[in-house]
Amino acid sequence: MDDEFDSVADRQKVTQARVHSELTATARERVCQQTLDPLNVFISNPLSGSAIPPTLIGRAISRTYENTGYSALEPHLVIETPEAHKTFPADQSIPSKEVNEIKSHREIVENADTITVLAYLEHLITFVRHSREHKWDQIVSHGVLRSREKRVPQLVKRINTALETEGVLWKLTNDNQGFNFRPIGSELLEESDKEFSRITEDQRWKSVVSPYESAFELYKDRQYTYQIPEKLYNSIEELARTIVVDLEGWEDNREMNLQKYLNSMRDNGLFEPNNIMYAELNDLISSMEKAFQKSGAHRKNRHQEIGREYSTLLLHQISAYLTYIIRMYENKYDTD
C-alpha cells in the first residue's frame, strides 16, 4: 500500500490528536488567564496583571496539598527572596522567603500535571465564590463584587468554552457538590480518532473519511446536533459500499441499504472469527437510525442538541468500528 504522505512532518500532522484527555498548552494558557481575572474585569497588562486577591490563591494551594500531596505542587511554587542589593535597617530582620501567589498560579496551571491543575482550580473557584468582600478591596469595585453570583457562573462558562474549543475532554460543573471537573466520554476517543486518521491515509478510504470529518468538524464547533450521528452513519455506509461494491465486487449495486452491505460482508467472512462484532454494529446502527427517524419528521429537528457527552460517545464508537473493519479487510483481502 503506497503511503500518500512522503514527509514525516505531513504524517505527523494527519495523525495529531484532535481531542485530548490531558490539558493542552493552549487550554492551560487560556484557563490560566481566565482564573487570574475570575470576575472578568479589565486587566491592563494580561501578562503580568491579575484581578484576584493573592490570598485566595494561597488558600487554594494549601487546600490542594490535601488532595495531591506536596510533591505535585512544590516544584511549581515561585519562591521570592529579598533582592541581593537591598539593605535593611539594623533593627529590622531580613524578610524570609515567600511564595509569590500570582506567579505560582501561572506556573501551576501551565505546567503541573492535569489532575493537579484541575484539583487546584476547583478550590480556587470555590474560594472566589465564597470569599469575603474586604479581600477584594482595591481590586474590583463594589458593583462588580455585588454581581459575583452572576459572574462566577460566567467564569465556569468561559472555562468550559476554552476546554471544548481546544478539544479537552473535561467539563467544569457547578452543582450541589460544588465546582467539579468531570471527564467527558473516554480518553479512548483520543486514541481511536488518531488510529482512524492513521489507517485512512490510504486514498481508497477518502470517501469514507469525508462524512466522518464533517461530523468531527461539527463536534469541534460545538454543534452537538442530530447531524453528527447522521454523518457518522453515512461514513459506515460508505465504508461498507466501498468494500462490497468497489473493491471486492460482491455486489454490483451502490444503491442498496446498509444492512444488505453488512450481510454481504458477513457472508464473505469479513467479521470472522468475531461475528459478535457484526451483531454489535447492527445494534448501534439501529439506534442511530431511530434517531434519524425521530428527527426526520421535521427538518428543524436535525439541529436539536444531542449533547456533548453523547456526541463524544458516538465519535469514539464509530471511529473504533471503522478502524476495526478496515483492519479486518486489509488483513483478509488486501493483496497490495
**181 φ, ψ (degrees, to nearest 5):** -90, 130
Residue 1 pLDDT? 39
Residue position matching grid coordinates 450521528: 229
Question: What average pLDDT does range 130-158 have in this prediction?
Answer: 76
Determine the CATH number of domain 187-334.
Answer: 1.20.120
| pLDDT for position 94 | 43
pLDDT digits (tens, 9 = 90+) for 57-80: 999 999 999 888 888 989 999 988
C-alpha closest to that of 258 among 274, 242, 270, 241: 241
CB-hemisphere CA count at 13 Å for 321? 26
Number of neighbours of residue 20 by Cβ within 10 angstroms: 18
**pLDDT given for residue 198 in this prediction:** 87
* HEC secondary structure over 249-273: CCCCCCCCCHHHHHHHHHHCCCCCC
Residue with the larger pLDDT of the pair 85 and 139: 139
Give the C-alpha separation, 291 to 8, whole Å.
Answer: 41
How long, in residues, is the chain? 336
Nearest Cα residue to 229 out of 165, 172, 127, 302: 302
Dist. CA 57–CA 53, nearest whole Å: 7
CA dist 104 and 55 (Å) reads 12
**pLDDT for res 140:** 64
- Give the bridge partners for 305, in sequence order: 225
**Which of the two residues, 88 and 250, has the higher pLDDT score?**
250
Question: Over 70: is that where the pLDDT of 142 sits?
Answer: no
Residue with cell 483492519: 327
In the chain, list all ranges with CATH 1.20.120: 187-334
* Global model pTM greater than 0.95: no
Mean pLDDT over each residue of the chain, to the nearest integer: 81
Closest by CA position to 222, among listed 251, 260, 184: 184
